[in-house]
Structure 1
Amino acid sequence: MWGWLALAIGAEVTATMSLKASQGFSRLLPSLLTVAGYGLAFWSLAQALTRGMALGMAYGVWAAAGVAIVAVLGVLFLGESLTWVQVGGIVLIIGGVLALELGGSVAHA
């Protein structure tokens, strides 16, 4: 399950970075990578769900990891800025996903 989710995250991040490079779908290779990446991301996410991963957990991890990774890659490779307020927002997103996971694993007596 987790391998499929990791593939979904990697494909989504690749597609998102390619979307920026496609310049509004005016460049062929980045445009094709965008479409293929998003297709692979959703297919891989569906595979994780089919194999028993809870929807809320899968989507939460997928979205949070995607946001965090794309933000960092934007800073490293695209010259984008990342303020402490934005870092705090990313931390809150990740904390929210952890709360979903930890709250769901509590045994009810």
Structure 2
Amino acid sequence: MNAWIYLAVAILSEVIATSALKASEGFSKVGPSILVVFFYGVSFYCLSQTLKSVPVGVAYAIWSGVGIVFITLVAWVLHGQKIDLWGVIGMAMITGGVVVMNTLSKTSGH
């Protein structure tokens, strides 16, 4: 599987796991707790496969940056988390950083 597909699956799995972590209420609910463990496992496995061909700094920056933006959006939609203007600006900066790393940086490995 392509490293970038593994990275996308790692990000999606991490977002699902983090959302389930909120729903687990401190691991007191079995169903969401099982989802947390499973999807974090999938996420780290896919991230480890990504690291076979993508530099660790680049992969981690993308994984964490995109994950932050996605989980913030999920929290806004599913959990009613408020996002103010500064939050939106911060997420735009994170997204911009990921784009710059992927399109302009020579360290991205592609």
Partner of 1:33: 35
Partner of 1:96: 97
Give, in angstroms, the shift of residue 101 of structure 1: 3.6
Amino acid at match of 2:42: L
Query: 1:55 and 1:103 mapped to 2: Cα distance?
Result: 17
Amino acid at match of 2:19: M
1:47 aligns with 2:49: yes
**What TM-score, normalized to structure 2?**
0.88
Runs of 4+ with deviation above 6 angstroms: none
Give, in angstroms, the shift of residue 93 of structure 1: 1.6
Partner of 2:8: 6
Aligned residues: 105
Greater Cα radius of gyration, structure 1 or 2: 1
**What TM-score, normalized to structure 1?**
0.89
Give, in angstroms, the shift of residue 45 of structure 1: 0.3
Superposition RMSD on alpha carbons, in Å?
1.5
Amino acid at match of 1:49: L
Partner of 1:70: 71
Gapped regions of structure 2 (runs ≥ 5): none
Amino acid at match of 2:41: G
